[in-house]
């Protein structure tokens, strides 16, 4: 037994440093195989297609019932454009793939029955579909000892050893069952890849079918019709039968998911720990504030005075404030009068000092009203008296001798001194009154504040609320969860180590096998590409990810996706045939050996010849047990390359079926 064929269990256990039982447990958890075994033969051959129904529209409307038989090598479907060539490929696809790829809804609605006879890995199968309004209403897949037994049957016949493999009553059920049937019969495993790090995506039979029904030339994928998740490379490795390719994919996916789950778990634990720390800091801060509040309330409670005593004192102080306010107001008025008198005496002194007339009027003092009628003397007359020396009482000019000016001035000074003394006395009396009023007012405000704080009925709810807040916060801190350790459990670490060891061993096995196969594969692809008409092609280099580097035109290198549409189609076909030829040479089963190619001539450019492509492809199909079904609108091309029994041709402008 070779190293590749050895049981993986002891090799993985040795590399991971764990008991073999641990390897079995982990691989069993994920349903992973522990042995790399060669694949069974997976050939696929078309024999007969029958389609019936009622066509509507302007082209050949009415009932139809057509049967087509496919040759072992190349079969050409020939008809004008839009006359059903591509639909034949889609009908075959509907039967084999479970769902058509691009079958028009109008065509689906024409169908009533669809039969396809094939041989899958040596087993004859008959696909029988009953269709109404474009959907499957009943379907059965039959099996027999020989494919010829199926051509006249649409139901199981035990007497003739024809039995059912699956039955379905809807399009969805049929698709699901057929895809599982084909995977199992062709010994193919679902292709699994990780999705967003913590989940998986599974690609089944439709992904493999993309390497049978080739996409259009302009498509970027070298193998298959999906470029996501590295599917082209996985198809390449499966069809080269590299050891444990499917198992490697599943082990890698399981490892990726497990590692990312651990990372996500650690990140979540770290986030939770950070959140708990933030909550703990906030709770501690809130608790400190609540305790300070309660302590302050307790101090205030200890300092409370009698409510009635404070109220009596507040009333007494309010009375004192009123009395002090009245006293202060009286003193303010007295001060204002004294200040006014002092101002008048000051002015009078100035006047008698500077004016003889003023001195003559001095002894008349400063009458405020007429001595006869008590009428108030207007301010205007007072001003005029000062300006024109006209008496403010009688308005006559004041004339006469100024005989005793010194006496008048002396008396005016005496009066000013008296008014200044009176003003100072009023000011001296006002100051203490204002201070007393301020002191009593401040004392009243303090008593009123203490009275408010001493209202026990309002303080009690606040104290209770503060106590409740302290207790609640203390409880929250006590019950706040402690951060869990983020280190992975030993069992988890061991599982990751086992999966990593398995992935490494399978990867090494695959690389070793690829080293022997890829050199031959590159040579085959380059030789086939030149035979298909890419005359400037010098060499190619393909890797296990199905990335193809193309060298042509004197050493110019470029990627597959940079080639023209016609060149990409030729290289796709070359890759599939190279897989078959290299597989046959090395004794490994690879591609199912069926190719469906829609209108290859449509991809042509001037420097590439469809005639060369079809001729070489026909010869290679015959030499390599390859079945090819192509479509073309060029009957001359088909008949020039193929014998009549390999051409299914419609009449001029008529539909193919």
Q: What is the pLDDT of residue 38?
A: 62
Q: What is the pLDDT of residue 358?
A: 56
Condensed to tens digits (0 to 9), the pLDDT of residues 602-638 reads 655 433 477 888 888 898 888 888 999 999 988 998 9
Q: What is the pLDDT of residue 249?
A: 72
Per-residue burial over 233-247, b = 16 or more CB atoms within 10 Å of its CB, e = otherwise: bbbbbbbbbbbbbbb
Band (pLDDT 50/70/90 cuts) for residue 182 is very high
Q: What is the pLDDT of residue 506?
A: 82
Give the other-Cβ count within 10 Å of 376's Cβ.
Answer: 9
Band (pLDDT 50/70/90 cuts) for residue 246 is low
Burial tier of 351 (Cβ tally within 10 Å: 0-12, 13-18, 19+): middle
Q: What's the chain's average pLDDT?
A: 82
Those residues with Cβ within 8 angstroms of residue 315's Cβ, 6 or more apart along the chain or in another chain? none
Phi, psi of 165 (to 5 degrees): -100, -45
Burial tier of 145 (Cβ tally within 10 Å: 0-12, 13-18, 19+): exposed
Q: What is the pLDDT of residue 212?
A: 92
Q: Which residue has the higher pLDDT, 643 or 32?
A: 643
Those residues with Cβ within 8 angstroms of residue 652's Cβ, 6 or more apart along the chain or in another chain? 80
Q: What is the pLDDT of residue 3?
A: 46
Closest-CA residue to 310 (of 113, 453, 494): 453
Q: What is the pLDDT of residue 191?
A: 79
CA distances 221 to 277, 348, 526, 561, Å, are: 51, 119, 18, 8
> CB of 619 within 8 A of CB of 588?
no
Q: Does pTM surpass 0.75?
A: no
The helix or strand, by DSSP H or E, that contains position 549, with its residue range, turns out to be strand 548-552
Q: Which residue has the higher pLDDT, 373 or 619?
A: 619
First to last CA, the chain: 53
Question: How many angstroms separate the CA atoms of 240 and 544, rounded?
Answer: 10
State percent of the chain over pLDDT 90. Answer: 29
């Amino acid at each position: 037994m070779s190293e590749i064929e050895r049981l993986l269990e002891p090799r993985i256990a040795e590399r991971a440093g764990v008991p073999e039982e641990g390897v079995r447990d982990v691989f069993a958890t994920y349903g992973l195989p522990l042995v790399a075994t060669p694949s069974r033969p997976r050939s696929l051959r078309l024999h007969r297609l029958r389609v019936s129904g009622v066509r509507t529209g302007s082209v050949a409307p009415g009932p139809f019932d057509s049967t087509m038989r496919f040759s072992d090598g190349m079969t050409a479907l020939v008809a004008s454009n839009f006359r059903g060539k591509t639909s034949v490929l889609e009908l075959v696809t509907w039967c084999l793939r479970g769902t058509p790829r691009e079958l028009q809804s109008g065509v689906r609605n024409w169908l009533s029955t669809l039969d396809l006879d094939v041989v899958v890995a040596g087993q004859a199968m008959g696909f029988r579909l009953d269709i109404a309004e474009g959907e499957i209403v009943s379907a059965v897949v039959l099996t027999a000892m020989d494919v010829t037994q199926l051509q006249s049957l649409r139901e199981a016949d035990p007497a003739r050893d024809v039995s059912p493999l699956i039955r379905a009553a809807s399009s969805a059920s049929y698709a699901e069952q057929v895809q599982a049937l084909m995977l199992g019969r062709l010994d193919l495993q679902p292709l699994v890849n990780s999705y967003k790090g913590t989940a998986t995506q599974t690609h089944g039979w439709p992904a493999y079918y993309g390497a049978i029904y080739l996409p259009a030339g302009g498509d970027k994928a070298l193998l298959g019709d999906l470029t996501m998740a590295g599917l082209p490379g996985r198809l390449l490795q499966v069809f080269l039968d590299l050891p444990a390719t499917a198992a490697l994919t599943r082990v890698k996916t399981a490892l990726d998911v497990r590692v990312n789950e651990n990372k996500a778990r650690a990140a979540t634990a770290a986030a939770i720990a950070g959140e708990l720390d933030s909550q703990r800091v906030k709770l501690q801060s809130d608790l400190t504030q609540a305790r300070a509040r309660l302590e302050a309330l307790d101090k205030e409670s200890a300092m409370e005075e009698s409510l009635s005593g404070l109220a009596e004192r507040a009333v007494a102080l309010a009375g004192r404030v009123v009395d002090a306010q009245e006293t202060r107001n009286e003193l303010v008025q007295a001060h204002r009068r004294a200040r006014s008198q002092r101002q008048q005496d000051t002015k009078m002194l100035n006047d008698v000092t500077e004016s003889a007339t003023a001195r003559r009027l001095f002894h008349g003092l400063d009458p405020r009203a007429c001595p006869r009628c008590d009428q108030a003397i207007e301010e205007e007359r007072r001003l005029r008296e000062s300006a024109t020396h006209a008496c403010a009482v009688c308005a006559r000019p004041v004339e006469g001798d100024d005989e005793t000016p010194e006496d008048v001035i002396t008396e005016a000074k005496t009066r000013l001194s008296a008014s200044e003394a009176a003003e100072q006395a009023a000011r001296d009396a006002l100051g203490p009154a204002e201070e007393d009023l301020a002191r009593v007012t401040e004392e009243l405000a303090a008593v009123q504040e203490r009275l408010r704080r001493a209202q026990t009925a309002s303080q009690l709810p606040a104290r209770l609320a503060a106590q409740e807040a302290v207790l609640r916060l203390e409880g929250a801190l006590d019950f706040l969860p402690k951060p869990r350790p983020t280190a992975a459990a030993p069992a988890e670490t061991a599982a990751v180590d086992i999966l990593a060891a398995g992935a490494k061993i399978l990867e090494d096995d695959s690389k070793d096998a690829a080293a022997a196969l890829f050199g031959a594969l590159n040579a085959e692809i380059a030789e086939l590409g030149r035979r298909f008409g890419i005359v400037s092609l010098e060499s190619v280099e393909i890797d296990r990810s199905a990335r193809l580097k193309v060298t042509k035109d004197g050493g110019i290198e470029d990627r597959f996706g940079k080639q023209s549409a016609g060149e990409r189609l030729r290289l796709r076909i070359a890759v599939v045939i190279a897989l078959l030829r290299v597989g046959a040479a090395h004794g490994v089963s690879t591609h199912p050996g069926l190719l469906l190619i829609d209108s290859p001539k449509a991809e042509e450019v001037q420097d590439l010849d469809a005639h060369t492509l079809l001729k070489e492809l026909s010869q290679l199909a015959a030499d390599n047990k390859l079945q090819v079904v192509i479509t073309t609108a060029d009957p001359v091309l088909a008949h020039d390359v193929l014998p009549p029994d390999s051409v299914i041709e419609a009449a001029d402008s008529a539909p193919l079926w």
